[in-house]
Structure 1
Amino acid sequence: MAEIRYRPEIDGLRAFAVIPVVLFHMGWSYIPGGFIGVDVFFVISGFLITSIIIKELGQGTFTFRNFWARRVRRILPAMICVTLVTLGVTYAFVFGPDQRVIGKQALASLLSVANIYFWQNAGDYWGQAAEESPFLHAWSLSVEEQFYLFFPIAVWIIFRLRSRWLQGSILTAIVASLALFLWGLQTHPEATFYLLPTRVWELGAGCLLAVLLSTRRTTLPQSDQLGTFANAGLIMVLMSYAFIPQTSGGMAVAVLGTAFILACGHSGFANALLSHPSAVHIGKLSYSLYLWHWPILVLARPLGIHWPGASDKLLIVLLMYLMSLATYHLIEKQTRRRKGMVPAIAICLLIAIGSAVPLAWTPRVYDTSEFETPHSYSYYYDLRPTQTMTPEFQLVYQGVDLPPREAPSDAFANGGIIVGAGDASPRVVVLGDSHGTMWSSAIRSVVEPLGVKTAFISMGAQSPFFTLPVTDDRPSHVLNAEEKRRYDESRIHLMEQWHPALVILCCRWSSVSEAETEDLMGVLASHADSVLLMEQPPELLDIGNRSVSQYLAFQGYRPQPATRQYWPAGNVQNVENGRHLVRSLVAKYPNCKCIPVHDVYREHSTALVLDGKDLVYVDDDHLTTFGSRLALPQLQRSITEALRDTQTLPDRSELKVLSEAF
């Protein structure tokens, strides 16, 4: 077994791994595969750890105690520091209900199960919930830490039984993990992304290379010819960042390229570039830089730094570098090689855990008593067969008067909630997602005085659109496959049977593409006399799936009598795309018109959130009952015109009835 010597090009390779990750997370569009830098780290880790284990096993000096103590000294001190600072900033500046989630994330990170936590709670790595998690990046560290726990045991057992089985065992693990990875991408993408078994092939690639290079017969000479392979490897890694954003392809190219560099990077252009002092310097800081970059990006907004701006980005990069530099010199270098540090590190770990626990399990709420109690009928009109009051839902609707649903649980497949007397079929049908449930109360206040029988068929977290032909193999987020089939078939059948005079379609248009509307719109074009497409209100910046009353109190908003207060509009481009889609559908289908309500709530680049003491929004895109009723004039005008055009209104003057109702 050859001696393990320091190779500066490996530190340089770390720099070429961490910088793309940071730039990718900052939204740099030139490196759509920048996240693959994490996979480069996996290969490096597997290579170095296996090299150390095999060397010590060959010399008879390997002990689990020493191995894991080195890992503790290498990983935990900097992680504990970043965690404590992040928790402190969170407590001082972050919205109270979010602190509970961040506290739980911190605990998962400190206990090396962050990947499992985010798989279970954040879901899609690219989703909004994940983007707002300051410990999201710890998933990859947990993967490595779990690997460090199990891999040495496996190597020790194989080495004791028959050392020549090691290569074949690692190769078998790589093949099995890669097969599981490729299968999981199609069937369980979140689990495949986060969990160790589907990442073993990347770590194992470095392990196998270390085993091969540890034997004399496969030791590669340090010749200039091999530099060509290292150069090719570096090009492959860079290409994976710039041109191959697809998950599996980019990872495979990066893993193979990293292996070429590790095996052949002793010479050539790649060696010169990776061994450059600047690259080596950043590489030495790479662990601290990786730890700091994501919390800084996530927590910048609560601190008032909106980093899409060039000056803010420069400030953030400088802050990342300075924090990484300080952590490396003051913590990493001071603890890495001091064998007696483990007890002190354990105490610090307990302190960090103790700091996270109060945030994770102590609710922090704000006084909203100055606001009028908001009301919402969203739950009342929500036809989900199982209405689960999740903890997240409870936080959003905290303090909101939320009447329960009275309809039976199978109403979603049996005509919905029908208002109006008589045996005749409903003449008005309201279809929608959670925006349909949001508007239903206001719509009812218009149609009920007119004596027009109406069916409300909307479901929270469930798109109103469907794909033909309807099958029983398309489960959704809230419906199993059978329920989804029944829901879609029921609505199609009802349209054919009732042939309503008016269908009002309400949804969050900012999340809808034109292609997914085609089948429903085709059914409505054939079986409804008139269709009204309800615009969505503006969305609120930064608030997301949070309680508006709590968030406004957190931001210091106080109601002012007879005064309207506004909040910056968010997701503006997607909302405008949704408005354009509505106009496009109106132009495409002759029986379609739009109910223009967006501008009721918008003033320039802001949205109305407070009208005196009354809250207009529940969360970033759902209105309170008060908020929805601000659009009653638009609803009244559009609905009465549509019903008059289809000769559905009773003989008595609808305007007189409406004036009395309002």
Structure 2
Amino acid sequence: MSLPSSSSYRPDIDGLRGVAVMMVVLFHADFGFNGGYTGVDLFFVISGYLITGLLFKELDRGGIDLVSFWERRLRRIAPALLVMLLVTVGAGYFLLMPDAFSSLGESVIAQALFCANLYFWKDSGYFSSASEEKPLLHLWSLAVEEQFYVILPIVLILGHAWLKRRRGMSTTRRTLVRGLAWLWGVSFVASVVCVYRDANTAFYWLPPRAWELLTGSVLAGLPQTWLPRTKRIRHWIGSLSFVMIFVAGLAYEDETPFPGLAALLPCLGAAGLIWAHAPGENVPQGDRSWTWRLFTWRPLVGIGLISYSLYLWHWPLLALAHYLNVSKEGLAVGVRAALVVAAMLLAWASWKWVETPFRKKGLITSRRMVFGLGLGSIMTSLMIGVWLVRGQGLPERIPESALNYARGRDDRDLTASWTGLEAAQKGEFPQFGAEGRPVRLMLWGDSHARSLMPVLDRLCEENQVAGEMAIYSATSPTFGFYRRSRHGLNERTELLAEAVLARLKQTQASHVILAAYWMECSGKDSVRFENALVQTVQRLKEAGPQVWVVLDVPTQPYDVPKALALGGLWPSDAVAMSTSMEEYHVANKVMQSLIPRLKTAGAHVVEPMELLTGAKGRSRVEHGGHSLYIDSHHLSVTGALFLKPLFEPLFK
């Protein structure tokens, strides 16, 4: 007999849901809990435990009814989700610029096809919209669960049938649990490896995430004899699990490699609490630990009951508010608090008038109607998404002057490509400038280097020379140092650096330009970064070329195209809030202090701020009705060409 998961109501699990959703909400609303995103991992464990427990019960009764299983999933997920989608799209019609509205349509389509996680995986990166401004970003986790719900019952049905024929019923359950444990191990190893090789894939894809759901699945299959039998043991397990969850929630940060090994802490914490609180034959109701009393506290259980709707509603409210905000300070505390309260009120209304009636068959009684609702939800979402995408975000809603600014997001050089590491090691680097002419220039850096491509390409064409680029996102152009980032090469930065040096010696290029998001490169070890950059200049000088170091362009406190465009709809002056000269020097103090050492090492220092300083000592963000940026810190093609006088000396 397995550990009971659904034979009776478990208020402690609703309490755990309440903790999980509040961790996520408080994290997103910036009210502490730097690692509050681990609340999603708690949900994964809970979901795996409850769903697998129900499926095991059906197996015990003779077999899994897939149609009934998916009917329950549809009743649980579809109605509240559809209402949230319709309201979010309706709000987007009045609030979002065409690019953001079209992107919202794409995410609606992805959600309808159960692959929102893959869409946001593909959409993530330096040149995508800020993650906090994507109203449906939170649906990635729902897609992971949906994919798991499709695969798990089929695996159990096939495994159960095969084992029943070969071994008989006596060992089937135990073998199935062992099989799930084996899958857990494979998925966990994949997660650990993937988080260091491709963190985005590890975060969004099901295979590196499946072990978190399978943690609950394996727990649901454990026999009752494995339950902790004494109050003392339950207290210790519950207490330790509680600490594990809150250490992860409070100590983890955005930069923590995740999921991988780091996800063990919250997942085992959730599993430990479920295990310690599980009812058993020798565990009387009064013999409960302090964690049981905490997680069955009625207000916390109440939040757990509305946790699904709260998760659905909190993020669109915050994302739309972030999208509309162009102030330097971000959303005020009062605004964020009001949004959290609004989300809870909407969640309660959704739970009472949408979730509950559908789950209890108060509105739709027949199975045919349920599947009709599911199909209707999918078709409605697809039609809305296609309408927004094919209509390119319905630009006719927006004045032309605002559209010109909004188009700044797409004003980028699409021909500039990332440099593949393997290709670079073979001496193959993407070229620009005059085709077939000698290579006289190497551009080495990250996405900030890539944003300079339009001006360098034009100057190379005018001077009939060619250039090559060694560009990889979030990867500093340095020897002996790397910037840790989900998007970068990380430990493999040195491999690219050595390939660049070898190529420079081979081509005997006259110039090498180093450009990067320097203020992010140094991270928490500025001294090591400074020494590495100086040594990099020295090594490049020894190889022969002139070395040019391009300082950062001013980072603005808002998304520039969006802020300029919104200024055309209602009062806001993005130009007056752009970065001042003083703010620029403070933000870039590491590179500013490093200039003398760079010059001593033989580098020419290029300072874009000279040309980008406008009226009243503030940086320029627009020119001739067009944005100079594609976001807050990458230049647009218009912005790059604005810097042409800075780079003309390279060609003289």
Aligned partner of 1:7 in structure 2 is 10
Contact preservation (8 Å) 1:585, 1:592: no
1:55 equivalent to 2:76? Answer no
Work out whether 1:24 is the aligned partner of 2:27: yes
Q: For the structure 1 residues 275 and 359, does the alpha-carbon distance in structure 2 shift closer, same or farther, using more than 3 Å as the test?
A: same
C-alpha spacing 1:383/1:207, structure 2 compared with 1 (3 Å): closer
The answer to which of 221-230 and 82-91 deviates more is 221-230
Give the CA deviation at 1:93: 0.9
Closer, same or farther: CA 430–321 of 1 in aligned 2, 3 Å: closer
Structure 1 residues 13, 614: closer, same or farther in 2, change over 3 A? Answer: closer
The partner residue of 1:329 within 352, 363, 367 is 352
The residue aligned with 1:255 is: 267
Q: Shift of residue 69 of structure 1?
A: 0.4
d(CA) in 2 for partners of 1:614 and 1:120? 28
Per mean C-alpha deviation after superposition, the further-off stretch among 296-305 and 139-148 is 296-305
- 1:182 aligns with 192
2:181/2:218 contact within 8 Å kept? yes
CA distance in 2, matches of 1:378, 1:97: 14
Q: Following the alignment from structure 2 to structure 1, what is the Cα–Cα distance between the partners of residues 574 and 319?
A: 31
Number of the residue aligned with 1:319: 342
Change (3 A) 1:323 1:572: farther
Once the 2 structures are TM-superposed, how far is the Cα of residue 581 of structure 1 from its aligned partner? 0.7
Q: Specify every segment of 5 or more residues in structure 2 that has no aligned partner in the other structure, as ranges.
A: 279-287, 421-430, 482-487, 523-528
Q: How many Å separate the matches in 1 of 2:237 and 2:403?
A: 69
Alpha-carbon distance in structure 1 between the residues aligned to 2:503 and 2:452: 17
Distance 1:208 1:505 in 2: 51
**Secondary structure in 1 aligned to 2:222?**
helix
What is the 5 A alignment of 1:99-498?
Answer: 99-122=101-124, 130-160=131-161, 161=164, 162=169, 163-164=172-173, 165-213=175-223, 217-218=225-226, 223=231, 225-244=233-252, 246=256, 247=258, 248-265=260-277, 267-304=288-325, 308-338=331-361, 339-340=365-366, 342=370, 343-364=372-393, 365=395, 367=400, 407-408=434-435, 414-416=438-440, 433-440=449-456, 465-467=477-479, 487-492=500-505
For residues 134 and 404 of structure 2, the distance between their equivalents in structure 1, rounded to whole angstroms, comes to 30
Q: Deviations over 1:615-634 (max 9, x none)?
A: 65566445577756766888
Indicate conservation of the 8 Å contact 1:97/1:363, yes or no: yes
Deviation at 1:528, TM superposition (A): 7.2
Report if aligned partners of 1:510, 1:574 keep a CA contact under 8 Å in 2.
no
AA matched with 2:121: W
In the TM superposition, 1:460-609 aligns within 5 A as 465-467=477-479, 487-492=500-505, 507-513=516-522, 514=529, 517-524=533-540, 526=542, 533-543=549-559, 548=561, 552-553=564-565, 555-556=567-568, 568-569=578-579, 576-578=586-588, 580-590=590-600, 591-592=602-603, 594-598=605-609, 600-602=611-613, 603=615, 606-609=618-621
Distance 1:187 1:139 in 2: 21
Once the two structures are TM-superposed, the CA of residue 133 in structure 1 deviates from its matched residue by 2.6
1:332 offset after TM fit, Å?
0.9
Summarize the Cα distance change of 1:159–1:26 in structure 2 as closer, same or farther, 3 Å threshold.
same
Q: 1:442 to 1:576 in 2, by over 3 A?
A: farther
CA distance in 2, matches of 1:309, 1:564: 18
Letter in 2 for 1:351: T
Structure 1: distance between partners of 2:319 and 2:597: 42
Structure 1 residue 430: Cα displacement: 8.0
Once residues 632 and 193 of structure 1 are traced to their aligned partners in structure 2, the CA distance between those partners, rounded to angstroms, is 40
Equivalent-residue separation in structure 1 for 2:212 and 2:415 (angstroms): 49
Which range is displaced more, 137-146 or 535-544? 535-544
Say if 1:581 and 1:353 are closer, same or farther in 2 by CA, change over 3 A: same
Asked if the contact 2:192/2:261 (under 8 Å) is kept, the reply is: no
Q: What TM-score do you get using the length of structure 2 for normalisation?
A: 0.75
Contact 1:532 1:594 in 2 (8 A): yes
1:4 is paired with a residue of what secondary structure? coil
Residue 287 of structure 1 aligns with an amino acid whose one-letter code is: Y
Classify 1:579/1:157 alpha carbon distance in 2 versus 1 (closer, same or farther; 3 Å).
Answer: same
Amino acid at match of 2:149: Y
Residue in structure 1 matched with residue 423 of structure 2 by the alignment? none
Instruction: Measure, in 1, the Cα distance between the counterparts of 2:534 and 2:27.
Output: 35
Q: Which amino acid letter does the alignment assign opposite residue 522 of structure 1? A: Q
Of 575-584 and 15-24, deviating more is 575-584
In 2 relative to 1, CA 244–298 (structure 1 residues): closer, same or farther, beyond 3 Å?
Answer: closer
Asked if 1 retains the 8 angstrom alpha-carbon contact of 2:452 and 2:640, the reply is no
Alignment match, 1:42: 44
Relative to structure 1, the CA distance from residue 484 to residue 371 in structure 2 (aligned partners, 3 Å threshold; closer, same or farther) is same
Shift of 1:183: 2.5
Give, in angstroms, the shift of residue 456 of structure 1: 5.8
* Cα deviation digits, residues 447-502 of structure 1 (max 9, x gap): 98xxxx98866566677825379xxxxx979x99999866542335566x85x7xx
What is the alpha-carbon distance in structure 2 between the residues aligned to residue 634 and residue 123 of structure 1? 29
Distance 1:613 1:97, change over 3 A: closer
Consecutive unaligned residues of structure 1, counting only runs of 5 or more, are 387-403, 418-428, 470-474, 650-662
How far did residue 272 of structure 1 move?
0.8
Cα pair distance change 1:492/1:320, threshold 3 Å:
farther
Separation (CA, whole Å) in 1 of partners of 2:192 and 2:231: 36
Report the 3-state secondary structure (helix = DSSP H, G, I; strand = E; otherwise coil) of the residue aligned with 1:31.
Answer: coil
CA distance in 2, matches of 1:564, 1:192: 37
User: Which amino acid is the alignment partner of residue 238 of structure 1?
Assistant: F
1:611: how far off? 4.7
Percent identity of paired positions between Structure 1 and Structure 2: 25
The alignment partner of 2:578 has SS state of strand
Q: CA deviation at 1:557?
A: 7.8
Secondary structure of the residue that 1:608 maps to in structure 2?
A: coil
The answer to whether the aligner puts 1:69 opposite 2:68 as a matched pair is no
CA distance in 2: counterparts of 1:120 and 1:187, whole angstroms: 16
Residue 604 and residue 25 in structure 1: after superposition, are their counterparts in 2 closer, same or farther (change >3 A)? farther
Measured in 2, the distance between the counterparts of 1:533 and 1:224 equals 64
Contact 1:586 1:592 in 2 (8 A): no
> 1:572 and 1:97, CA in 2 relative to 1: closer, same or farther beyond 3 A?
farther
Assess, with a 3 A threshold, how the Cα gap between structure 1 residues 508 and 226 changes in structure 2: closer, same or farther. closer
Find the aligned partners of 2:435 and 2:8 in 1 and give their Cα distance: 72
Contact 1:33 1:250 in 2 (8 A): no
Q: Kindly provide the CA deviation profile for residues 319-359 of structure 1, in whole angstroms up to 9, marking residues without a partner as x.
A: 22112111111111111121435133432443233222211
Are the structure 2 counterparts of residues 521 and 9 from structure 1 closer, same or farther at C-alpha, using a change threshold of 3 Å? same
Specify the SS of the correspondent of 2:439.
coil
Q: Which moved more, 1:518-527 or 1:335-344?
A: 518-527
Letter of the structure 2 residue corresponding to residue 138 of structure 1: L
Give the TM-score of the pair, scaled to structure 1.
0.74
1:258-289 Cα deviation digits (max 9, x unpaired): 22211222611101111111111111111111
Larger CA Rg, structure 1 vs 2 = 1
Distance 1:444 1:586 in 2: 29
Q: Which whole-Å CA distance do the structure 2 matches of 1:571 and 1:293 have between them? A: 37
Provide the rounded CA distance (Å) in 2 between the counterparts of 1:233 and 1:380: 49
Q: Secondary structure at the match of 2:323?
A: coil
**Matches of 2:444 and 2:135 in 1, distance apart?**
38
Distance in 2 of aligned mates of 1:564 and 1:146:
43
